[in-house]
Amino acid sequence: DVAMAAQMTDAHRRFLQVLMSHGIMEGSETRKLHRRCCEIDKVYYAHDKLDDFISTINSHLQPLFMQIRKGMSEEDGKAHYALVNLAETEITKMASDYTENELELFRKTMDLIISSENGFASSTDILNLADQLKTKKMKKKEAEQVLKVFVEDKWLSERNGEYTLHTRCIIEMEQYILSNYPDVARKCNICHSLAIQSQVCESCGIVMHLPCVRKYFRAQTEPRCPQCNDFWSCDIP
């Protein structure tokens, strides 16, 4: 396997360092970074070789149980790259950064988001959980602060007082969520990755990411479910 044996250069190391400091980067930024690193360190650059470049880094990260993974933003369908820790489940990794009751608030928020219709939980609903925590109750003010930190740390993202899972969180936690929420966590019928913000077919129950819905129905004269062919009754975003 030639790709596995490919050598890490200073360009690869520089790329990894920048990605590490960001945690996650949007696709176009990642492509720019790839080019810049190759130029600075005078390493052969080809614009269509980003995946090979990353798999070289990944082969060297393997013994460290780290991996650069590609995922999609559920908002706009854009590619993102995130550095993921494979050694421990993500919840245990979070445990080193947050207190027990903060973690419990995150888990309960995740429950709300994953079991919701549209992949969002309102701040009202989340704050109501804060004084029901088993570990240690939290005052509303404190809970608001904690939510802010979850957003800053890219576990949650927030829009008009509604919270959903950040793209980075989804890339990191996809396996965890699929195995821990087998009854509610679903994969998108189009791209087959975990769908949090999604639309559901009223007839057969399949789910699709909003960007995937947009793309899929762009070519159709009338929107029909890719699975059961019934009329798609949700509003096309």
**Number of domains composing the chain:** 3
The pTM score is 0.86
What are 8's two structure tokens?
Answer: 């890490």
* 199 domain-assigned: yes
Domain shared by 132 and 201, yes or no:
no
59 with 136, same domain?
no
Q: What is the CATH number of the domain that holds 155?
A: 1.10.10.10
Mean pLDDT score, 23-46: 96
At residue 171's C-alpha, the angle toward residues 15 and 48, to 5°, is 45
Residue 116 has pLDDT above 70, yes or no: yes
- For 70, 81, 111, the CA distances from 164, given in Å and listed in that order, are 19, 19, 11
Cα distance between residue 193 and residue 208, in whole Å? 10
Interior angle at CA 107, CA 105 and CA 109, nearest 5: 65
Q: Over 70: is that where the pLDDT of 1 sits? A: no
Average pLDDT over the chain, rounded to an integer: 91
121 membership: H or E segment, kind and range: strand 121-122
pLDDT tens sequence across 190-233: 999 999 999 999 999 999 999 999 999 998 889 999 999 999 98
pLDDT tens digit sequence for 171-200: 989 988 999 999 999 999 999 999 999 999
Q: Please state the rounded mean pLDDT for residues 20-41.
A: 96
pLDDT tops 60 at residue 3: no
The domain of 138 spans 91-181
End-to-end alpha-carbon separation of the chain, Å? 43
Residue 145 has pLDDT above 90, yes or no: yes
Average confidence (pLDDT) over 120-131: 94
Residue whose structure tokens are 């820790």: 85
Quote the pLDDT of residue 220. 84
Confidence band of 94 (pLDDT split at 50, 70, 90): confident
Check whether residue 105 and residue 173 sit in a common domain: yes
Per-residue pLDDT at 83 exceeds 90: yes
Mark which of 135, 165, 181 sits at the end of a domain: 181
Contact, 103 vs 110, CB < 8 A? no
Do 110 and 137 lie in a common domain? Answer: yes
Q: Do 95 and 176 belong to one domain?
A: yes
Tell me the pLDDT tens digit for each residue of 47-62.
999 999 999 999 999 8
189: helix, strand or coil = coil
* Neighbour count for residue 131 (Cβ, 10 Å): 11
